[in-house]
Every structure is written in C-alpha cells, then in structure tokens.
Amino acid sequence: MPLVVDEGATVPGTTPLRSGFRFGTPELPHEFAHPPLIEAWLGVEFCEPADFTKIEPAEWRNRLGPEWTASWQPIAADHHAPGMTRTGRQLRNVMNDRAIRFGMQEFSFGWLGHDGSIYPRYETIRDGFVATLDAIRDVMPRIGRPVRSSVSYVNRIPQGTVWTTPDDWSFIRLWQPSPMHKLRIGPEGFAGLWQFPLEAERGSLTIELTHELANEPANDTESLWLRITSSGPTDRDESSLFDGLDYGREMVVRAFNELVTSDAKEYWGVSPRKKAGPTT
C-alpha cells in the first residue's frame, strides 16, 4: 500500500500532560455499529532525531506498564504502517490491540483491530498516546519539541460487503468506474492517492485507496484499503499538539462521512453519535 511520508512535528514542554477532548468541538457526523475501521493511529514528529531504539524494550515496558511486551515485535504484513512513522520498530501490548511504532524522530501510537478488537473510541486512543508521550519525555528528557502531528484511520473493506466487483467501487465517491478501460487496463491491484490542503495552513488531508488481491494463506479475501490521514504543523505552545490531533481526528471523521455513499453507511449500521464528555 502506498505511504504518504510526512515531514515535520513538535513536542510540548516539560510539565506533565493530560488528555481531554477540547471544549467547543463541532458535533461530528454519525457513527457506525460495525464500521470497517481496522487501525487508528496518532503520531507526532519531533524537531530533532531521537534514537528511540537505543532504549531497551524492557525499559519501555517499565515506563509504559506490564500490559506491554518486553521485546520488539514484528510488524505483520497486513498491518499497514502509519504514514508518519518510517521504520519497522514496534512495541505491542499483550492483548495485541495496541502498538507503538518508532521512527528516527517520530512515534505513532495505534489501535489494531485485526483480531476482532472493538474500536475503543478516539478519546481512549488519545489517552494512550498521551501516556506514551509522557513515558518518552521521562526516558528521554532532552527530546526536542513537536513540529508535526498526524491522525490516520485505516479501513479494510472486504469483497462481499459493500462491493462484489470493481463496478461497485463507486460507493467511494472519488472512484471513477473503469477509468482506463479504453487502454485495456483493469482496476485490479489499483492504488491511488489524493491530497487536499486544509484550511488556514493547517496541513493536508491525504486519502489512499488500494485494492488488495486475495493471496493465500496470508490473505484469502480481496479487500479495499481506505486510509485517511490528516497531518499538520504544531506551534511551540503545549496545547498546539493536542489541538492538532483533535482537529485531525475531526477532519478524518468528516472526510470518511463525505467519501462514502448513504447505502454504504446503512450497511455499516449508521446511528447518531454518542456524546463523549471531556476526560479528567
């Protein structure tokens, strides 16, 4: 699957961080009883390189808690890496539904739903990101400031759900049916990327759509993979990073709502969004 590599990201000051959804956030579109969402990542890039892998996994576990493994874990072929993190170093929790991926000067905290884990809501993932950032600042007190944040949601849409053949891909509004048929080029194995600027220099929204063919035994079902990523710069003040993440999440959720048809939403069990108050 094609990756969008984001350049940049900044870290807050030295005071402890606390999660909490910002007040005044516009009401988001409805949610789904059984969405195609299979991964959700929050990432930050720092102004200077930081060799996270010099810290032993056992030390990360001491800082993060006993629910994390004490060894580096492989990244499975079906776990599509977050767009900001550019290396394969990964820690995972013992339940196999959370992961932390480290790059040269960035990390991403993510939820993994490949094993049937229920999506825990954005606020929970945000709290996990905050705990990881606090641990990193504890272990590496001289780490630079954050310069860029990223929110990435990955959706896997198997054949036999909202689509049967490529003729049905128009449930994603960006798709143009058989765009290359006069050249006798079929859509099988298609990979496409769209990038849109966000308002007031707040970064960009990137949409990646990939058709993955069945490949026994690793993958016995054809699927469309839809990744939506919002990334943008952060300012020097401590709250900017978290405002950026909240804004990015809002853009990703709204983009998904705009991208798919009403019939697809009905298939995934569209329903009014539950109210989520601020955490303390």
pLDDT tens for 161-190 read 999 999 999 999 999 887 788 888 888 888
CB neighbour list of residue 275: distance below 8 Å, 6 or more residues apart: none
Q: Report the percentage of the chain scoring pLDDT > 90.
A: 57
Q: What pLDDT, on the 0 to 100 scale, is given for residue 73?
A: 85
Give the residues across from 92 on adjacent strands: 99
Question: Among 190, 96, 111, 195, which residue's Cα sits nearest to residue 153?
Answer: 111
Better pLDDT: 220 or 268: 268
CB 256 within 8 Å of CB 228? yes
Position 218 scores a pLDDT of 59
User: What whole-number distance in Å separates Cα of residue 209 and Cα of residue 153?
Assistant: 12
Choose between 226 and 216: higher pLDDT: 226
To which residue do tokens 């710069």 refer? 233
**What digits encode the pLDDT tens for the residues 58-114?**
999 999 999 999 999 877 654 454 444 455 689 999 999 999 999 888 999 999 998
Q: Which of 31-35, 231-235, 265-269 has the highest mean pLDDT?
A: 265-269
pLDDT score recorded for residue 77: 55
Alpha helices for the chain (secondary structure H): 57-64, 122-139, 238-259, 262-267
* Per-residue pLDDT at 225 exceeds 60: yes
Helices (H), 47-105: 57-64
Under the banding of pLDDT at 50, 70 and 90, the label for residue 154 is: very high
- State the average pLDDT for the chain: 83
Of 276 and 82, the one with more pLDDT: 276
Please report, for the chain, the start and end positions of each structural domain, with discontinuous segments joined by +.
31-271
C-alpha to C-alpha distance for 122 and 135, rounded to whole angstroms: 20
Please state the rounded mean pLDDT for residues 197-225.
Answer: 85
Residue 225 CB neighbours (<10 A): 20
Task: Report helix, strand or coil for 28.
Answer: coil
Helix intervals (H) in 113-259: 122-139, 238-259
